[in-house]
């Protein structure tokens, strides 16, 4: 805004077009543009209010028991992220201290996961676990290709072994990088990969096995140590050395604090790489993930690119280039803020709430628990066979009170099983758990008066599965 001298020596203000509008009612007389740019700008307050009001139709994040993603942080963390919104994580020469915080986070995770030399660990931040898994998968494929150049040149198709319960990013990886997905189906009460299934699917073209520490379907840990032991025996029999990647998107930030005796990480020599989601039980707003490799040998050099047009030669091996540094700063803040005891307290509180809520739901008499929230603070349950409603009816009715509890069908070969899943995150308190139980108790008498599940009356079942 500038002060100008006008005709007759009068003074007037020259206001920029984004500062405001001359007619305060003008913006109220027209509907806002939705799918095309408007002819000109509107006042900042007007634009804010229009978007703000529309977003009121979204669900309440604190009542969203479908997502693993962090929905609350301390005000100081939010302020720190706001201060870093304009920092580009890839520009390590311009923002060297943000790069240093990333390096510290990698070392902290490497120490947490018992890397041979945490200070020399190879790792990076990513936009989330999906990108981290892509990087880990690429490293596995390149390692296999280097070990088997003749087989690869003659058209052998590499494969990746995993359970059918893996996150969809692994299916994407196999499609994008032309790897055959070999998935072990669910069977009976086995809802994830086990050692026997893993070894049975391996051959000379297997680039690796994915073990999931915290299945998104039910919150359970896959037996990583047993899988590694079975692969050790497999190597003795066949000479085939199959590495393991641990997808610790959720459990990688839970097990070190609540299950320290559980061996699943770099203590197992066969574990080549691990990923986790900083924006899940890493307690940071989305999106940030982490990918770590045991050592430099586990990350082929051809996957590391060096760029110098940002002011200095910098190695990079993430898929994305420009991305915000705010989440990395926030991750370091959380590490600094909590320490080991703080993380143990936060994750322990989540598990305690999950166990309490699962136990109370089990007492209602019309649900069967599949898991109890005693690993990742997540549990799944289904309806018993003697009630006239199903999990989709329960999910639909809970949504009327604002609760988002996903209902979904399990994958092959358990499509007959439909469940509800509850994710207990930091901020979901015992008080909120009691409110959920009270609402569930109020709606059950109405559900019991139904003649049959609504899907049998033609009402479509709404699936709400969220990773």
85 and 145 part of one domain: yes
324 and 357 part of one domain: no
With contact defined as beta carbons under 8 Å apart, do 193 and 221 qualify? Answer: no
328 and 367 part of one domain: no
Count of domains forming the chain: 2
**3-state DSSP call for residue 190?**
strand
Q: What is the CATH number of the domain that holds 149?
A: 3.40.640.10
Helices (H), 273-425: 326-362, 391-399
The pLDDT profile of the chain, 467 residues, written as one tens digit per residue, is 444 444 444 444 444 555 545 555 554 555 677 888 888 887 888 788 888 889 999 989 989 999 999 999 999 999 999 999 998 887 777 888 998 999 999 999 999 999 999 988 899 999 999 999 999 999 999 999 999 988 878 889 999 999 999 999 999 999 999 999 999 999 888 999 999 999 999 999 999 999 999 999 999 999 999 999 999 999 999 999 999 999 999 999 999 999 999 999 999 999 999 999 999 999 999 999 999 999 988 988 888 877 665 555 556 777 777 888 999 999 999 999 999 999 999 999 999 999 999 999 999 999 999 999 999 999 999 999 999 999 999 999 999 999 999 999 999 889 999 999 999 999 999 999 999 999 999 999 999 999 988 887 777 766 555 45
pTM: 0.90
**3-state DSSP call for residue 207?**
strand
CA 346 and chain centroid, separation: 18
325 and 433 part of one domain: no
Q: Which domain holds residue 429?
A: 347-457
Determine the angle formed by the axes of helices 96-112 and 326-362, rounding to 10 degrees.
40
357 and 261 part of one domain: no
Whether 31 is covered by a domain: the verdict is no
199 and 101 part of one domain: yes
151 and 106 part of one domain: yes
CB-CB neighbours of 466 under 10 Å: 16
Residue the block writes with tokens 């139709």: 57
**Long-range contact pairs involving 231-234 (C-beta distance under 8 Å, separation at least 24):** 231/198, 231/199, 231/202, 231/270, 232/270, 233/199, 234/199, 234/202
């Amino acid at each position: 805004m500038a002060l100008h001298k006008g005709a007759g020596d009068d003074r007037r203000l020259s206001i920029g077009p984004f500062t405001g509008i001359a007619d305060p009612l003008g913006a109220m007389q027209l509907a806002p543009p939705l799918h095309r740019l408007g002819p000109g700008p509107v006042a900042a307050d007007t634009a804010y209010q229009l978007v703000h009001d529309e977003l009121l139709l979204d669900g309440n994040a604190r009542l969203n028991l479908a997502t693993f993603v962090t929905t609350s942080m301390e005000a100081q963390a939010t302020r720190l992220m706001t201060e870093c919104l304009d920092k580009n994580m890839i520009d390590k020469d311009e923002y060297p201290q943000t790069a240093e915080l990333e390096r510290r986070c990698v070392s902290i995770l490497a120490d947490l996961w018992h890397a041979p030399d945490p200070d020399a660990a190879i790792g990076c931040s990513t936009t989330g676990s999906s990108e981290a898994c892509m990087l880990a998968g690429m490293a596995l494929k390149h390692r296999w290709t280097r070990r088997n150049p003749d087989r690869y040149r003659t058209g052998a198709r590499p494969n990746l072994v995993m359970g059918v319960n893996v996150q969809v990013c692994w299916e994407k990886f196999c499609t994008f990088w032309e790897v055959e997905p070999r998935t072990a189906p669910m069977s009976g009460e086995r809802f994830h990969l086990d050692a026997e299934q893993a070894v049975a699917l391996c051959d000379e073209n297997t680039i690796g096995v994915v073990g999931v520490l915290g299945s998104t379907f039910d919150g359970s840990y896959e037996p990583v140590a047993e899988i590694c032991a079975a692969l050790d025996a497999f190597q003795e029999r066949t000479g085939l050395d199959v590495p393991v990647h641990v997808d610790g998107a959720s459990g990688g930030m839970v097990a070190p604090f609540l299950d320290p005796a559980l061996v699943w990480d770099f203590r197992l020599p066969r574990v080549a790489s691990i990923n986790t989601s900083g924006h899940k039980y890493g307690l940071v707003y989305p999106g940030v993930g982490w990918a770590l490799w045991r050592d430099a040998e586990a990350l082929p050099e051809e996957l590391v690119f060096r760029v110098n047009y940002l002011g200095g030669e910098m190695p990079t091996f993430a898929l994305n280039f420009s991305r915000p540094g705010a989440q990395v700063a926030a991750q370091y803040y959380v590490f600094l803020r909590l320490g080991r005891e703080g993380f143990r307290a936060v994750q322990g509180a989540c598990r305690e709430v999950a166990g309490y809520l699962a136990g109370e739901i089990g007492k209602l008499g019309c649900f069967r628990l599949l898991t109890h929230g005693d690993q990742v603070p997540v549990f799944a349950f289904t309806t018993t066979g003697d009630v006239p409603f199903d999990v989709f009816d329960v999910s639909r009715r809970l949504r009327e009170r604002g609760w988002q509890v996903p209902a979904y069908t399990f994958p092959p070969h358990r499509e007959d099983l439909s469940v509800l899943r509850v994710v207990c995150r930091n901020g979901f308190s015992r008080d909120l758990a009691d409110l959920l139980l009270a609402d569930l108790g109020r709606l059950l008498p109405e559900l019991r008066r139904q003649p049959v599940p609504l899907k049998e009356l033609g009402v479509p079942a709404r699936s709400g599965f969220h990773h």
